[in-house]
Each structure stands twice: as structure tokens, then as C-alpha cells.
Amino acid sequence: MVNENAPAGTNPPKLLDQVRDKIRVKHYSIRTETQYIQWIKRFIFFHGKRHPRDLGAAEVEAFLSHLATEGNVSASTQNQALSALLFLYREVLGIVLPWMDTMVRAKKPQRLPVVLNRSEVALVLERMDGGYGLMARLLYGTGMRLMECCRLRVKDIDFGQREILIRDGKGAKDRVTMLPATLVQVLQQHLAKRRRLYEDDLAKGMAEVYLPDALALKYPGAPNEWAWQYVFPSGSYSVDPRSGRERRHHIDEKLLQRAMKRAVTASGIVKLATPHTLRHSFATHLLEGGYDIRTVQELLGHSDVSTTMIYTHVLNKGGRGVVSPLDR
């Protein structure tokens, strides 16, 4: 397919390159980019490498049905594939397909979250020390999501106000949560060690970190500043898949997931608890402690209180200030 607007003597960008460019213009995360590219490639290969322009409702429905019947994927995975195809047609190919608006998304099953009681949380946390132990305590003590903890920056911890600013959370929203008093000294000691690693990186010219939304262009010196460093860094340098620059990224979330799994197994707990279970436990224990569900909703960053309602049916129990369940 020839692009008539392309300069003479040049080849038009390939379809997947166009998808990547559009995703980056819209400032989608690298994870979203990876997933969308994967689903679009699978869609194209499923239909014998035919161009998506030549495909329609029947082909999209056949692909999504195949994922459900043959691939046995979950409803959320099937919906992710549909979102990728919607992005391809609307944003990249510029094709308005009314039939895609009427497609019914797979309904997610409503399941109650796994929650640990207070003694179970204590058993797990006792078996986690070092950086992983600190991260697990932050998840339970603040209600942060796993990736919000991994991406935490030095500048977003306010010891004076005892607050943590969570930037660009789910839905690209910022919010504030408490900094548990129990963790103040431990976190300060951790940052002292982190500062030494930063200074070593700085001496080697390797202190640069990733900054979102072209902030590095607006503030050229910021990527090398202490304030922008990740609180929980990777143990080695890696190459940024977008810029190609080698630098120290944040810790891989899989490492914390594995550490949590080991701790749960060692504690003898039979529940399928993950790092996200600590967030569920945070919310449940706050509500059990009498805090208003709207307050818990704000701390969790939920857009709709109905999402928070899954933790309990007890409403409006009051509470002026919020004390972290980790401090109880």
C-alpha cells in the first residue's frame, strides 16, 4: 500500500511502527505499547497476514471468539485485545467503524478480593526483610498498587507532612496517602543507602533516570538529580526500549512478587496472597477500624465508590484523621 503523501524515494513506515508512534504521541505507557503491539500482531497473523484495512467485523469477532474458546483467556484479557484493535482502527488507520462501538465486551466475573487478617499480615511481613520487606510494608501501610511502589521517586516522599504523593496512578491520576510513622526511620535509612548508590552512579556518569511526558526536554538536568531518582532501583543498568539509552531503572516488580510468594508459603498461609493482597487488606482493615468509605476511596484512588464497596457494606463510620493500619 503506497502512501501518496510520503516524500519521493522513501518507504512509508510499517504499520506497527505507525502504531508505536501514535502510542508515544499519546504518552501511553511502555506496558500498554507492548501489549497493543502484541495483540495487533496476533490479529494480523490469525488472519493470514492480511492488512487490517481489508478486515471487518466478522474477522474481529472471529479473533475475539478464538481467544475465548481456544485460548481460554480471561474476560479482562479479551477486553484488552479489543482495546488494542479499537486503537488500531481509530487512531492509526483513521477508520471509523460503527460496528466496533456495538461490540459487547466480555463481562468480568465479580469476585471478592483475597484479604489477609491482621495476624496473617504480621506473619507474612515477619518473613520479609530488606528492600522487599520495606516495599511490602509500604503496600500494606499506604494502600499503594504494586507498580506505584516500584515507580516511587525520592521527591514524592514528604517526611515533614508524613505523606506520600503517588503520581500518575491508574487512570493517570495523582493522589496523596499517608506515610506510616512506623516506616519513617526505616525509609530514611533506606534512602541514605540509596543516596550512596546514586552518588556512585553520578561519578560514573550513569545517574540519569527516565522522566515521563518529555520532562527531560523541558528540564535537561532533572534526570540526573537526586529528587527524581527511584526509591527502589534496579540492581543493574538496562537499555530503555524507547530511547535506547542505558540507565538504572526501577526494581522489577516480579522480584517483589516472588519474595511475597516465598513469605506466604513460609508462613503456612493457604490463601493465594500476592503483593496486591496487601492493598486489599489495607482497605479492609481501615473500614474495620471505622473509617468512612469515601476516605478509603480517596486513599485507594478509585474513581467510583462502587469499586471500594467491594470491601465492605459498612458505610459512614466516621473518623477524623486517618492512621495507617501498619501503625496500629
Please give the positions annotated as active site: 145, 170, 276, 279, 302, 311
**b/e 43-62 (16+ beta carbons within 10 angstroms → b):** bbeebeeeebeebeeebbee
Bridge partners of residue 237, in order along the sequence: 248
Q: Which long-range contacts (CB under 8 A, 24 or more apart) does 164-173 make?
A: 164/138, 166/301, 168/212, 169/145, 169/301, 170/145, 170/301, 171/301, 171/303, 173/301, 173/303
What is the grid cell recorded at 218?
A: 523541558
CA distance 115 to 74: 22
Pairwise CA distance, residues 113 & 110, whole Å: 9
Residues 6+ apart with CB under 8 A from 132: 255, 256, 259, 260
Q: How far apart are CA 233 and CA 36, in angstroms?
A: 27
Task: List Cβ neighbours of 24 (8 Å cut-off, separation of 6 or more).
Answer: 33, 242
CA separation for the pair 132, 270 (Å, rounded): 21
Cell of 203: 561519578
**Three-class SS string for 280-321?**
HHHHHHHHHCCCCHHHHHHHHCCCCHHHHHHHCCCCCCCCCC
